Amino acid sequence: MRIAIPHTRQNPDIRFLGRLLGDVIRAYGGDALFRRVEYIRSASVDRHRGIAAPDSIELGLDALTLDDTISFVRGFMLFSMLANLAEDRQGVAAEPGADVAQAIARLEAEGIDRDRVTALLQQALVAPVLTAHPTEVRRKSTIDHRNHIAELMKLRDMGRTETDGGELVEEAIYRQIALLWQTRPLRRERLYVADEVETALAYLRDVFLPVIPALHARWERALGQRPPSFLKPGSWIGGDRDGNPNVTADSLRLALGRAAETVIGHYLDLLHRLGAELSISTELTPVTEEVIALAERSGDNSPSRSDEPFRRAITGVYSRLAATYRVLVGREPPRPPASADAEPYAYPADFRADLVAIAHALARDGDGALAGGGGLGRLIRAVETFGFHLATLDLRQNADVHERVVAELLNSAGVEADYRALDEEGRVALLRRELASSRPLSSPYVTYSDETASELAIVHAAAEAHARYGAEAITTYIISKAESVSDLLEVHILLKEAGLYVPGDTPTSAIMVVPLFETIADLENAPKVMTAWFALPEAATITAARGVQEVMVGYSDSNKDGGYLTSVWSLHQASRALAPVFERAGAAMQLFHGRGGAVGRGGGSSFMAIRAQPPGTVAGRIRITEQGEVIAAKYGTRESAVTNLEAMASATLLASLEPPQLAEAEYERFAGAMAKLSDTAFHAYRDLVYGTEGFRTFFRQFTPIAEIADLKIGSRPASRTKSDRIEDLRAIPWVFSWAQARVMLPGWYGVGQALAAFEDRGLLAEMVEGWPFLQSTLANLEMVLAKSDMEIAGHYVALVEDQAHGQAIFDRIRDGWHVTRDNLLDITGQSRLLEKSPALDESIRLRLPYIEPLNHLQIELLKRHRAGEDDPRIHEGIQLSINAIATALRNSG
């Protein structure tokens, strides 16, 4: 398959991989299939060059049999995957300051010295949190083959012609592409929570475990001193129960147990290598008493190592860690220890202390080069970062569930017969009385509903986890749909049942309860809720003891509720309004940003997004969800993980320490304009989505939402209820569906009307020029507009039963897109989309000719499927087309 895309600087990796893919299709699919695929590819490329008739693509597609269609879609999907790989190897666009060394230099140039950076890092936390949200359409097997190709391409970069096994590098790459061609791309069965746990563990084991210590070592060199381990991963997988009945106490235990097995197994491997490395003899160098003591206690009495105390000490440490593995995992480690009766480590800190004793002994001799770096330094950093838990696992549940469970507990205990009938004031008073009492509400002699029994089992499993793995295993309990103080108190009631909240004069809570504000109204109400929360003496006490309180803000539901512009502005305003609330309470604010991959769910550049946060709202602490296909895109290889984690850390430094770019008076002027823009955009969006008769029917017929729900890409249902209301649909399939039809409506609708109605164009130009918030907002908007295609989208109207009504709604959408594009170009001073972003422009232009035929095929297959044709190849073709389009668009979910 030749790669000949117009108006782009050809990436040689894409040309090379595309050529090999074409060779594979010819060899394994046959020459006839290759020629058909090549004809459609060439016709699509030529159409985008403007030198082929619009119907030339359809003529080629019409000649495909169903079997050919499936092979064709696989071919275009694999090309997009290989193109993504080639681009990832080049790294993300490097904004100035997008690594920590550059950020430090930039801050120094602005008069902010390293002491301030160091002081910030003492209390910093930067946490990417992996979630199992279902937008990753690819099987793990496919991702593995892709990563093997990436490793082989690195050998090719180095000028290697052979692999370590003696295979020619180019032949090895060809073989991996051939394996991809013959690997089933679709899952046959829906994922279980256990599958999602294993997928996340693969990234944590293969990427995060080696990369994060290496990054901290790099930052230590940049700072000139050793920073704390401030970059730490988190996870929701196995603890996120919101709308997912498959997440239970058992899945929580599974996730925690497998994480402990993974991380302690990693430490054991590093220790084994370290023991082989530290061949230091007492005949050549003195050794500290601490190391001698470790060696004597090790049980290693081999005469061959009698003069090698470091090796013997490592043997003892290994035996103790192996005993820890035995206790926490429940079986023997893969490589048995020298001593079978060693005492397990009670805490990761005890393990670290032994390692530090060895490091200090190494530092005493020579220039200290043996102590800080190498395997021992990385292992110490890993233990500080990952403990025995690997990634902090969050709990999450919906406030409505907590309300029902607490009501049942209060009723069964004879405290309150109808808790749900109480007003907010009555609820708060009752819950505070219960939190002041050491008496539990639950009883082993009462039979509870399945829901209540499940929620009680979760908090008891969390208490077990704290005792077993340490408090870092679970630090946070997130409340979806949080609207009031009683929502926070209800969770503390549940924690008290498991001993995780302890009443008294100075109450303590071992787990931080975090409200998630999601809708536009909830975001507006967030400062009021948190003010009332901090006013409670018990809340003030537990916050003061912890020193920090987290608030989570949700991008997805706020967008579905109010549209793109109102969503991002409401999030910005809520964050800004929360800062003084926390300042008055004397608490550090930690914002947790619930972002997805698509712009309609908060996607886009993390570097730009963090830097665009309101002044005073980051302060060195930020958590961000990483979801679905974004995980593979950002952390699929160690190289891409380094780039993205570095950007996240550097953006946090800059957002925390750089002086505000806007004076307060200028900000207020810009904010006033944004409020008007947001209001206009909100009403335009709400009028279309919630105010247009028949819109939800149009949406469900126009997009492949029903077919997406059949994809085996997650353990969670697509909708919160059996209702077909848009309000009850999860934000993920909402955004994903619009992307498939190339409309991308959640990422832009309403913005054009707002910009067009705003008369002060000079003020808009000032805002675009000088306000990072608006720059980030418009950059993401522009990317979405560039990936959408109203001409292709128009073909999806044929799927709508009421053609006249469907066409009328689509005309409104199309007109809104043109208004948005034209006004965006006007205020940014461009003649075409992405004119000022050539790298992104090239990336998108490369893919467009490969997506258009997929859309045409998808429409035809959807027509046949919905007409009742029951050929299983039609269903498979639809699923493959969804997979292929998502792969090509990248951030579509």
Report helix, strand or coil for 397: strand
Query: How many DSSP H helices and E strands does the chain contain?
Result: 38, 11
For 721, residues 6+ apart whose C-beta sits below 8 A from its C-beta are 728
Alpha helix locations (H) across 636-694? 638-657, 664-689
**Beta strand extents in 533-684 (DSSP E only):** 548-554, 588-594, 621-627
Q: Which one of the listed residues 402, 466, 496, 560 is annotated catalytic?
A: 560
Estimate the share of the chain in helix, then strand, then coil, as percent rounded to the nearest 5.
65, 5, 30
Give, as one character, the DSSP assignment of residue 231: B
Q: Tell me, what amino acid is at 495?
A: L
Euclidean distance between CA atoms 827 and 147, whole angstroms = 41
Kindly give the pairing relationship between strand 501-502 and strand 508-509: antiparallel
Positive or negative, the CA dihedral 340, 342, 348, 352 is negative
Q: Tell me, what amino acid is at 568?
A: V
Q: Tell me, what amino acid is at 255?
A: A
For 488, residues 6+ apart whose C-beta sits below 8 A from its C-beta are 479, 482, 513, 515, 533, 539
- Helices 638-657 and 100-109, axial angle in degrees (round to 10): 20
CA angle 238, 244, 249 (to 5 degrees): 45
Euclidean distance between CA atoms 855 and 846, whole angstroms = 16
For 173, residues 6+ apart whose C-beta sits below 8 A from its C-beta are 17, 20, 149, 152, 153, 156
Structural contact between residues 748 and 785, judged by C-beta atoms closer than 8 angstroms = yes
For 879, residues 6+ apart whose C-beta sits below 8 A from its C-beta are 186, 707, 710, 711
For 814, residues 6+ apart whose C-beta sits below 8 A from its C-beta are 790, 793, 794
In Å, how far are 150, 158, 159, 205, 637 from 162, measured between CA atoms? 15, 11, 9, 27, 21
560 is catalytic: yes
In the numeric block, which tokens belong to residue 389? 């838990």
Euclidean distance between CA atoms 602 and 243, whole angstroms = 21
Euclidean distance between CA atoms 636 and 143, whole angstroms = 8
Residue 445 has phi, psi (to 5 degrees) of -100, 5
634 is catalytic: no
| Cβ neighbours around 32 below 10 Å, total | 10
Euclidean distance between CA atoms 146 and 719, whole angstroms = 32
The alpha-carbon radius of gyration of the chain (Å, integer) is: 29
Euclidean distance between CA atoms 600 and 560, whole angstroms = 8
Euclidean distance between CA atoms 61 and 857, whole angstroms = 7
For 855, residues 6+ apart whose C-beta sits below 8 A from its C-beta are 741, 742, 789, 792, 795, 881, 885
Structural contact between residues 495 and 509, judged by C-beta atoms closer than 8 angstroms = yes
In Å, how far are 149, 257, 296, 671 from 315, measured between CA atoms? 38, 25, 10, 62
Q: How many residues are present in the chain?
A: 893
Cα 176–chain centre separation: 28
Cα 493–chain centre separation: 30
Give, as one character, the DSSP assignment of residue 478: E
Residues catalogued as catalytic: 133, 560
